Amino acid sequence: MSSDGKQAVIQAPPLQQLLGGGKRPVIRAPFLPTAPFMVTDPNVSQMPRTYVLTVEPTYTLGQTLSLTLRFDIPGTIVAWNAGAFNTGAGNALPIGVRPLDTFTVNLTTSTRENITTAPVLGSALFGSGENPGQVGAYGYMINAGGSLNVEVQPLLANLRITMAFTVLEIRAGSNYLLPALVGAGA
């Protein structure tokens, strides 16, 4: 205890108190497959768009490359996929190495939210065309003007890495904000 009579709190409040108390502070909801919110306003439409980022094989091995996806329209990221191709002689990867294991990736937003808490192998996050990588739950909502910052570190030389982010865009007036994000600045 300090000289002014205050004592540090060393135990976090119980989970039920953190979640708002009451008899049912949480409910069970599906996580996969991704189930984005659908807008019910008749003056608003939604359509999918795939945003693509590519790393060309002009990098220095060991270098972390920073790429940015800017969103001019609000939407929800519902899937992220990637692929890697060796452009070197013979075009083959080392035996036993899968394309998504040839690079690491770290995702953050323009509001400094960490989607991944540390760089991970591409295979730990991304799916492929055959088996899409789902974001889960309701997807990741982002407002117009927001961005997704992607840090990629190739682990082999001569790779062309392509990442595709499927976004369910919301088409409406220029002042439309996602209801769940009004004031959040994402």
Checking if the pLDDT of 3 tops 90, the result is no
Per-residue pLDDT tens digits for 98-109: 999 999 999 999
Domains annotated for the chain, with CATH where assigned, are 30-173 (2.60.120.340)
Judge contact between 140 and 125, C-beta under 8 A: no
Specify the 3-state DSSP secondary structure of 84.
strand
Per-residue pLDDT tens digits for 41-95: 788 888 999 999 999 999 999 899 999 999 988 889 999 999 999 998 788 898 8
Judge contact between 91 and 174, C-beta under 8 A: no
- Mean local confidence (pLDDT), 122-135: 90
- What's the pLDDT at 150? 97
Residues 78, 91: Cα–Cα separation, whole Å: 31
Residues 152, 162: Cα–Cα separation, whole Å: 11
What percentage of the chain exceeds 70 in pLDDT?
A: 78
Residues 44, 170: Cα–Cα separation, whole Å: 7
Residues 70, 133: Cα–Cα separation, whole Å: 21
> Sorting pLDDT into bands at 50, 70 and 90, what band is 182?
very low
Q: Could you tell me which residues come within 8 angstroms of residue 64 by beta carbon, excluding any fewer than 6 positions away?
A: 151, 152, 153
Find the range with the poorest average confidence among 13-17, 112-116, 121-125. Answer: 13-17
Residues 150, 154: Cα–Cα separation, whole Å: 13
Specify the 3-state DSSP secondary structure of 125.
helix
Q: How many CB atoms lie within 10 A of CB 71?
A: 22
Checking if the pLDDT of 184 tops 50, the result is no
- What's the pLDDT at 186? 46
